[in-house]
Structures are given as C-alpha cells and as structure tokens.
C-alpha cells in the first residue's frame, strides 16, 4: 500500500496533473490514512477497555491524536487542491501540518501507554505534553546548531566590540592614534585583556569582511593580552583552554612627564629570541581604562606597523575605569580625549532607570516632574512604530507584529536553561521556558503597556500595602493609584459606549453567567464601537493608552532622555559612591558602553531585575540580601482556550478584555477573577481562512488569584536565564482557578482547554524575587525601594511587590514606582520648607507635588 506522504510529495512535485489524476491520488491517500487511523483507534480502544476507562474519557484521549493525523493529510490535500497558487499561505500550512504530524507520530504511543497504565486523563495529557515539549526543545536545539555557522557570520559582521575600530584602515587608525593623549606607565598594572585588528596589508579589504575576519581571529587566538609589571611586562597566552604562559617580554622606555608621546614598549631584551627584539610597541589612552596600541617592526631601512590592538584595564573588564581629574596628574586630558577620540564617550547622569515599563516610566515621570535633571531611561526594546510615535526623533523604531510583520517581529528572545537564543532584536515578546513555568514578557519602550489588556485595578486586599510599609507611606497609595489611572485616562466602560463583545451586554440575559457593571475594572482604551486591534499584539491606531505616550513623551519634553535598544548588562558601585552601568547597544553594529550615575533604578521586569541583581552582586559589594530570588509568584495566572465556536459574532473585536464575569450557580466565587479575552488583532495577520475563523469564533479565559508566593528564582548556567522553582500544584490559587474553568465548561457546554500545558505554570504577571520588607532576612529592598546595603540602588518594578495582587498588577507596579520616585525626589532635591508648605495638594490629574507626598 502506498505511503500517503510519498503520495503528497508526488502531488506537490507535479502540480499540473489532470484533475482526474489529482482526485485519484487524493482518494488513495485518504484511504491509506483511514486504514492507519483505524489501526491506531483500535489499539487505543483495546488499551482503554483493558484499563476500564469510561467511554467519554477514552473518546477525549483518542480524538486528539486521531485528528492530528487527519489534519496533517487534509492540510497537504488543501495545498494540492489550491494547486500551490497561494505560496505564502501554503508554506505556513505546511509548517502547521508538520507540527500536527510530530505531535501525532510521537504523542500517540505515549497516550496509548498512559491509557494502558490506567493513568487519569489529566496525567495522560501531562505525559503527552511533556513529551511534545521535549521534542520541540530538541528540534529547536537542532535548528539552532544547524544555523550556528550562519549565526556566527551574522554576529561577526554585526558586532564590533573593539570600540568601533575593526572596520578602520591603518591610515585611519594612525590618524586617530596621533590625536590621543598618552598614559603613564604607573597606570598600567596587571593583566589587560586585548583584541587585535588593523593588520598590515588588509587596507583594501571591505569593512564588513574585516569585522568578520577580526572577530573570528580574536575568538580563536591564544593571545589574551598584556601583563604589566614594574618597568615592563609580557604577553599572556592560553592554549587549549588549559595551558597558560607568558611570552614576548618588554620594558618601558622612559617618557618625559607631561609628554604627549606614546608609552613605548621595547622588546629588545635578552629574554626574547632575536627575531622579536626588533618589535616596538606604542600605547595611548583611548578612554578611561581603555588603551589603543600598535606594534611596529623596526629594521635598518624601514618601520612597518604590523597591527593595532586595544587593551582594557583589569578592573573594568572591558568597561570603565573610575579615573577622575582629581586624581589624574594631567587635569583636563580626559576632556581633550573625549573631543579627539574615535571611540564612544562615557556619559554621566544623576539617575539611570533600567526599564520603561509601569515601574520605570512612573519613576521617570515623577523624577522629571519633581525637578531632577540628567535622568536617563535605558530600554532594551525599540520604540514601536505607531501613529503616535512617528513624530519621535529616533531611528530605533520597529513595527508591531501585525500583518506580515507577525512572523518576523513577534519574538525577541526564547531562553531556557540550556540555550538562550535571540530571534529578532526588534521582537515584541521574551519567552522564558522552564520545567515548572513559562514566563512571557514584553520588549518595547513602554514595557508591558504595549501588550497588556488595559485592565487597571487595585489588589484584592484593601490592606495590601499596610502589611509591608509603615502607615504614613501605605496611606498614600490611593493617591498613587489615582495618579496613574488619571495619566492613562482609565475608567469603567458603560452601556452607552456600545463596545463590541462587552460582557455586561453579552450576558445581560444569560441564565448561567453574570457580568455586573459593578464588578468591571477600569480600562484605558478609546470607548467606541470601532474598538479593535488593541490587545497583546499592540495598538497601532491609538485605541489603547500606553506608557510611551502617557508618561515618557511628556517627560522627554521636560528633559528626560530615553535610550532605546540599550540593554543593561550589569551594575557596579565604586568607592566614591557612584555607579557604573554597563550596557550593550543593539543599534547599528552594536557595541558595549558604560554610563555613570549617582542613582540607579532597576525596573526592567521581574526576571531581568532579579537577574541583574544576581549578576551584579559581587560588583555591588556583596550586600547581605539572602532573600534575593525568594517570594516569586505567578500571580495565580491561568490561561485557557474557551471553545465557544460562535458563528454569529466576531469575538476578535472589542476591547482587549471583554470583561469580568462570574457563575450564577452557587453565587459569587470566594476568590479569584475570571476574564474573557478575544484574539484581538489576529484578523489582520495573514493566516489561512480556517485559522482566522477559529480566532473569530473562540475566546480566551484568563484567571487570576493571589497565590502564596512560594516560588524561587536562581541563576542558571547562562547568565541571561533564571531557573524558576515553582510548583503550581502546591499553590491553592491555581487549582481554584482551574476548578472554576471546569465549572464554566460544564455549565456552558463548551470545552475549556488549558494553555499551554497542563502541568506547567504560565504567567504574564511574574512578581517577587526582590521584595520590600522590614529587613534583609525577608526582603531585598526597604520601604523606600532601596536595596539593603547599597545606597542609591532602587528596585521599582514587580520584583519588589510584597505579595501577589490577585488582580492585574500593572497599576500596583506603577503606584510602587510613583512611591519610589517621590522618595528619591525627597532625598535628592532640596526644597525650601516655606515653599513646600505652599504647594497645593496634588489631584489625580495634576503633576505638581503636595507637601504630604514629599514627607
């Protein structure tokens, strides 16, 4: 009997067959597929009967993999039937078909074995889903390994970590070298890591080829750099990652004090072989802690510059050395260097805020409104190319993943404990995969406001902040909530707004569900009947109010600086109390840089903030914060697909959240919130018609309930990933939400499918890990938001929240950011007491400060 896959290959290789031939092949393929499905079905039925499962459960278990094989073949038949006319659609259908086939081929045996082992249905699904996850991870790793050579070439061409010098010719390097000031030999001590470039004879090579060549050379070269000692030093080498040695000795030639001549390295010593004694080295200062050098071979007739290289001070690790004009014997030379150097300068700010989400944007707006100057916001993601942002003077604009951009701009990075990989630096979502959890975060200026469902509410517990803060501070949080909601224009929708799919209207006459107006949460959207395309794919038409327009752009008009596509790598504190913030720019060719600041605010999202604290712990002086990483929470998030199959209404229209609802049977649930969301924005994604219909007819269920924050974050083998230890089965909140989902499915008669996998926690609202507390035994920051033992370092995002909110936490994060910003203003801005007493009380819509807020 013919193989259906070979038949499909024959169809696709000969699309011009007659209609009769195509129908015969399709019929034969369906017949073969039918026999295969019949065999699998028979095996499953026998195993199920042996395990004495109820027929209903057996049908549910077998239906999934039987349909998968049928769908696989039908998709290929669909492609052939269209005669490959729609090539773009066909490629995506083929991809989906392969996924279905893998799930079928590898999942079926597991399901049958689980049935035979008499496992409950939930555990059977869990086994199959675990297997599929492992298979997907294996395939991803294989793809990454296959693409590794191409990734290496792309990375090499797009990366110049030698301060923009790799692409320069020797003449350009020589001209820059002559303008640089000279260092003193006593400044050079210890091992200085180096990178080589500017080889003699390569001037005519194209710039991109030189960058590729020099990056590969530095990757495989055994030369580590130069080790400086009193009066001289030697080159450091390391072979086979194990054998270290010093070879190529030199001495300092004397240099007059204050001379602009380069520091000379003389290789004419007895310790070197004869051929090396003609080498001369010259060193000049490129920027503090960074030195530009060249190697020249001197003969009786000529001197040939062999190559250039950069050296980095050992204390900076390729970054900033904290030299100042007060300690420098030649005052002013750094200023002259900045004017002449070809590298990147070292900017200084009063405050640097890492992250532009609800916490970071609220701090930035508060500081600027309070009169603080030189405030910089660092954001790893780009500005989004919306109708409102087109006027912003920046090149860091990237489209939202809408239309055809959905397939290229959706994912920024996927990480797990084995292999973090960046898909697209302009991508919208970060996905962190773990054995116990899946965390999704955003990657844009404006943070989570770009993709959130615009639901703005306070925690369930009225005493939420009173349990963590002293009463004077906790009492002010109502004003902070009012402030951010006014900035976002948030209000509760009404019947007069005529929003599509708004649940109080939809369930007005329902016998099963109730969505009372009193239970609806305020939303920050344009309330009109044309509301659409404003959910987790972003809002291109301005129908959802986001932080970039509500807080950041107005603050920029008052002096705030925002650096997009700039990722913070680590933070270091120095003896003088200042911080150096080490960043990586993802613009252009990309390069690393260091900023200095008096204060640093970490607000880059829970996972990134905790990771930065772990990575920077030693550079911050090893503060005693044993609670770092503890108290992590998924906020009790549970996401499921509600298979409504509504053919009368387009459920993808309307607000991001259709509203909150409850069950009529048994009254109000004791805790937890259930929201219905549509697949908002998918209508404009170029997908096959059957998928578009699927997204129009079905909805998502989002449940939230305050869990007990028993998770824990710990660094993994990769510095860019954290391992989350979190067992959803040990939390009370998640089982309660899942129980509610079962009741919804039973009452509505419509299936509820948990996403993405039954045994894993899935959250878009991670919080905790650097909680506020009275002391460092239970938390990481004090009630001012300042890290214990590190003055001037603050945490202003969801990582600092003391407990799960049980509701969408965006407003709580923003309120905390407002509180931290006010405390910074109070500490760092000296306000005359008489003037402060005359300041009027702030209202929800005002931007001036009240005397009560500054105390």
CA–CA distances in Å: residue 787 to residues 571, 615, 626, 798:
13, 15, 12, 14
Domain C-terminal end among 103, 124, 154:
154
Mean pLDDT of 463-476: 91
Same domain? 355 vs 330? no
**pLDDT class of 244 with cuts at 50, 70, 90:** confident
Reduce the DSSP state of residue 119 to 3 states and report it: coil
Is 337 in the same domain as 360?
A: no
Q: Is residue 163 part of a domain?
A: no
Q: Which of 13-27, 242-256, 789-803 has the highest mean pLDDT?
A: 789-803
- Using 50, 70 and 90 to split pLDDT, how confident is the model at 7? very low
Residue 691 within a domain: yes
348/374 Cα distance (integer angstroms): 8
Same domain for 467 and 443, yes or no, is: yes
Q: 706 with 460: CB under 8 angstroms?
A: yes
pTM above 0.75, yes or no: no
Q: Is the pLDDT of residue 324 over 70?
A: no
Whether 144 is covered by a domain: the verdict is: yes
**Whole-number percent of the chain with pLDDT over 90:** 41
Residues 828, 757, single domain; the answer is yes
Q: Which residues of 480-496 are buried (b: 16+ CB within 10 A; e: fewer)?
A: bbbbbbebbbbebbeee
Closest of 229, 186, 176, 177 to residue 329, by C-alpha:
186
- For 842, what's the count of Cα atoms within 13 Å in the CB-facing half-sphere? 27
Q: Helix %, strand %, coil % for the chain, to 5? A: 35, 20, 40
Q: Is the per-residue pLDDT at 83 higher than 50?
A: no
Least confident span in 146-150, 210-214, 607-611: 146-150
Distance separating the N- and C-terminal Cα atoms of the chain: 84
pLDDT the model gives residue 354 = 98
Confidence of residue 455 (pLDDT cuts 50, 70, 90): very high
State which of 85-94, 106-115, 659-668, 832-841 shows the largest mean pLDDT.
Answer: 659-668
Cα angle 132, 134, 139 (rounded to 5 degrees) comes to 95
Distance CA 124, CA 118 (A): 9
Mean pLDDT of 331-338: 30
User: Using CA atoms, how far apart are residues 517 and 494, in angstroms rounded to an integer?
Assistant: 8
- Sheet containing strand 429-433, edge to edge, reads 421-422, 411-415, 429-433, 437-442, 761-763
Instruction: Report if residue 629 sits inside a domain.
Output: yes
Same domain, 259 and 372: no
The answer to whether position 518 is within a domain reads: yes
**Domain identity same for 316 and 366:** no
CB atoms within 10 A of CB 557: 9
Determine the pLDDT at residue 450: 95
pLDDT score recorded for residue 735:
87
CATH code, 451: 3.50.50.60
What pLDDT is attached to residue 530? 82
Does residue 695 carry a pLDDT above 60?
yes
Mapped onto helix, strand or coil, the DSSP state of residue 689 is helix
For residue 149, what pLDDT is reported? 62
* In contact, 7 and 17? CB cutoff 8 Å: no
Mean of all residue pLDDT scores within the chain: 78
Residue 589 or residue 83, greater confidence: 589
**For residue 37, pLDDT beyond 90:** no
Q: Read off the pLDDT of each residue in 191-203 and give the average, rounded to a whole number.
A: 87
What phi and psi, each to the nearest 5 degrees, are found at residue 420?
-75, 135
Question: And the tokens for 519?
Answer: 């239970």
Say what the pLDDT of residue 165 is: 80
Q: Among the three residues 344, 362, 395, which one is the final residue of a domain in this structure? A: 344
Give the whole-angstrom CA distance, residue 771 versus residue 778. 8
75 domain-assigned: yes
Counting every residue written for the chain, the total comes to: 855
Question: What Cα–Cα distance (Å) separates residue 637 from each residue in 115, 430, 441, 721, 804?
Answer: 30, 17, 14, 21, 10
CA dist 611 and 800 (Å) reads 13
| Range(s) of the domain holding residue 567 | 351-854
Q: Identify the residue whose tokens are 């002096």.
A: 559
Query: How far is Cα 174 from Cα 182, in angstroms, rounded to an integer?
Result: 14
Which stretches within 244-309 are classed as H helix?
none
Residue 633 DSSP SS3: strand
Q: Which of 8-12, 576-580, 592-596, 725-729 has the lowest mean pLDDT?
A: 8-12
Per-residue pLDDT reduced to its tens digit, 370-395: 999 999 999 999 999 988 888 787 77
Q: What average pLDDT does range 457-462 have in this prediction?
A: 92
Q: What is the pLDDT of residue 45?
A: 57
CB under 8 Å to 784, separation ≥6 — which residues? 794, 820, 823, 827
pLDDT of residue 340: 30
Work out the number of other CB atoms within 10 angstroms of the CB of residue 17: 16
- The SS3 assignment for 205 reads coil
Euclidean distance between CA atoms 57 and 28, whole angstroms: 32
CA 842 → CA 473, 482, 838, distances in Å?
16, 10, 12
Q: How confident is the model at residue 664 (pLDDT cuts 50, 70, 90)?
A: confident
Q: What percent of the chain has pLDDT over 70?
A: 70
The pLDDT, as a whole number, for residue 720 is: 65
Residues 697 and 570 in one domain: yes
Helix (H) or strand (E) holding 738: helix 733-748
**Residues β-bridged to residue 190:** 228
Residue 784 reports pLDDT greater than 90:
yes
**Does residue 162 lie in a domain region?**
no
Asked whether residue 161 is assigned to any structural domain, the reply reads no
Residue 198 dihedral angles phi and psi, to the nearest 5°: 60, 40
Is there a single domain that holds both residue 139 and residue 261? no
- When divided into structural domains, the chain yields a total of 3
Region 832-844: what's the mean pLDDT? 32
Q: Do 335 and 364 share a domain, yes or no?
A: no
Give CA–CA dist 32/41, Å, rounded. Answer: 14
Nearest to 127 by CA among 61, 60, 200: 61
Asked if 497 and 614 sit in the same domain, the reply is yes
H/E element holding 639? strand 638-642
Do residues 736 and 846 share a domain?
yes
Is there a contact between 524 and 454 (Cβ–Cβ < 8 Å)?
Answer: yes
What residues are paired with 191 via a beta bridge?
227
Q: Which of 299, 320, 344 is the last residue of a domain?
A: 344
Query: What's the average model confidence in pLDDT over 734-762?
Result: 83
**pLDDT (mean) for 550-563:** 94
Bridge partners (DSSP) of residue 787 are 781
637 and 757 both lie in a single domain: yes
- Reading the block at residue 389, the tokens are 């942002």
More confident residue, 98 or 223: 223
SS3 call for 385: coil
pLDDT at residue 717, rounded to an integer: 60
484 cis-preceded (ω within 30 degrees of 0)? no
Is the pLDDT reported for residue 16 higher than 90? no
Alpha carbon 295 to chain centroid distance?
A: 42
């Amino acid at each position: 009997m013919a193989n259906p896959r070979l038949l499909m290959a024959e169809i696709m290789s000969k699309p011009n067959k007659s209609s009769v031939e195509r129908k015969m092949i399709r019929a034969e393929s369906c017949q073969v597929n039918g026999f295969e499905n019949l065999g699998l079905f028979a095996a499953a039925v026998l195993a199920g009967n042996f395990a004495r499962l109820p027929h209903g459960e057996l049908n549910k278990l077998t239906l999934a993999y039987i349909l998968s094989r049928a769908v696989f073949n039908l998709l290929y038949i669909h492609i052939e039937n269209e005669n490959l006319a729609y090539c773009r659609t066909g490629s995506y259908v083929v991809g989906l078909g392969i996924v279905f086939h893998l799930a079928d081929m590898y999942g079926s045996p597991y399901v049958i074995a689980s049935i035979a082992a008499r496992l409950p249905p939930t555990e059977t699904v869990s086994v199959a889903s675990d297997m599929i996850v492992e298979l997907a991870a294996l395939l991803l790793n294989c793809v990454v390994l296959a693409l590794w050579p191409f990734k290496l070439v792309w990375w090499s061409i797009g990366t110049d970590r030698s301060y923009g010098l790799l692409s320069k010719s020797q003449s350009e390097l020589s001209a820059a070298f002559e303008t640089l000031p000279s260092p003193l030999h006593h400044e050079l001590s210890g091992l200085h890591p180096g990178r080589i470039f500017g080889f003699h004879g390569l001037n005519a090579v194209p710039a991109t080829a030189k960058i590729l060549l020099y990056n590969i050379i530095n990757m495989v070269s055994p030369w580590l750099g130069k080790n400086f000692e009193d009066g001289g030093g030697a080159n450091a080498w390391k072979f086979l990652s194990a054998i270290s040695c010093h070879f190529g000795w030199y001495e300092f030639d004397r240099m007059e004090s204050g001379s602009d001549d380069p520091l000379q390295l003389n290789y004419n010593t007895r310790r070197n072989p004869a051929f090396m004694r003609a080498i001369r080295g010259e060193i000049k200062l490129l920027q503090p802690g960074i030195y530009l050098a060249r190697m020249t071979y001197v003969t009786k007739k000529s001197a040939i510059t062999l190559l250039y290289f950069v050296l980095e001070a050992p204390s900076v690790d390729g970054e900033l050395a904290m030299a100042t004009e007060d300690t420098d014997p030649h005052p002013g030379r750094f200023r002259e260097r900045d004017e002449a150097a070809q590298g990147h300068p070292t900017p200084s700010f009063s405050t640097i805020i890492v992250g532009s989400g609800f916490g970071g944007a609220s701090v930035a707006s508060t500081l600027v409104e309070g009169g603080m100057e030189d405030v910089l916001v660092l954001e790893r993601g780009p500005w989004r190319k919306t109708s409102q942002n087109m006027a912003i003077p920046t090149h860091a604009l990237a489209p939202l993943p809408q239309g055809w951009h959905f397939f290229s701009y959706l994912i920024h990075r996927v990480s797990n404990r084995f292999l973090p990989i960046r898909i697209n630096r302009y991508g919208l979502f970060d996905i962190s995969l773990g054995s116990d959890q899946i965390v999704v975060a955003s990657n844009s200026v404006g943070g989570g406001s770009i993709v959130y469902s615009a639901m703005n509410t306070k925690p369930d517990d009225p005493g939420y902040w009173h349990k963590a803060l002293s009463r004077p501070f906790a009492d002010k949080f109502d004003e902070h909530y009012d402030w951010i909601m006014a900035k976002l224009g948030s209000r509760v929708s009404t019947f007069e707004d005529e929003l599509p799919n708004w649940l109080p209207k939809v369930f007005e006459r329902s016998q099963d569900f109730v969505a009372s107006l009193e239970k609806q949460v305020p939303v920050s959207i344009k309330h009109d009947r044309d509301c659409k395309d404003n959910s987790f794919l972003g809002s291109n038409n301005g129908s959802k109010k986001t932080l970039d327009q509500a807080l950041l752009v107005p603050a920029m008009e008052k002096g705030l600086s925002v650096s997009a596509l700039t990722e913070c790598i680590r933070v270091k504190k120095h003896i003088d109390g200042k911080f150096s913030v080490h960043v990586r720019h993802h613009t252009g060719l990309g390069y690393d840089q260091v900023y200095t600041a008096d204060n640093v605010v970490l607000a880059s999202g829970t996972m990134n903030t905790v990771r930065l604290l772990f990575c920077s712990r030693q550079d911050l002086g090893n503060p005693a914060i044993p609670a770092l990483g503890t108290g992590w929470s998924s906020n009790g998030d549970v996401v499921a697909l509600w298979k409504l199959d509504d053919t009368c209404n387009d459920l993808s229209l309307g607000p991001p959240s259709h509203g909150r609802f409850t069950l009529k049977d048994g009254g109000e649930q004791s805790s937890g919130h259930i929201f219905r969301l549509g697949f908002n924005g998918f209508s404009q994604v170029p997908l096959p018609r059957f998928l578009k219909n699927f997204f129009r007819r079905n909805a998502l269920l989002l449940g939230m309930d305050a869990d007990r924050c028993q998770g824990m974050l710990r660094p993994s083998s990769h510095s860019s990933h954290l391992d989350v230890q979190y067992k959803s089965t040990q939390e009370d909140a998640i089982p309660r939400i899942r129980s509610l989902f079962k009741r919804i499915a039973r009452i509505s008669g419509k299936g509820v499918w948990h996403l993405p996998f039954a045994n894993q926690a899935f959250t878009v609202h991670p919080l905790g890990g650097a909680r506020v507390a009275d002391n460092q035994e239970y938390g990481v920051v004090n009630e001012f938001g300042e890290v214990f033992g590190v003055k001037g370092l603050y945490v202003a995002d969801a990582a600092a929240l003391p407990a799960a909110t049980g509701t969408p936490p965006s407003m709580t994060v923003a309120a905390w950011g407002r509180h931290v910003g006010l405390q910074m203003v109070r500490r760092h801005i000296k306000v005359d007491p008489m003037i402060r007493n005359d300041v009027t009380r702030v209202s929800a819509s005002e931007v001036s400060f009240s005397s009560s807020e500054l105390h």
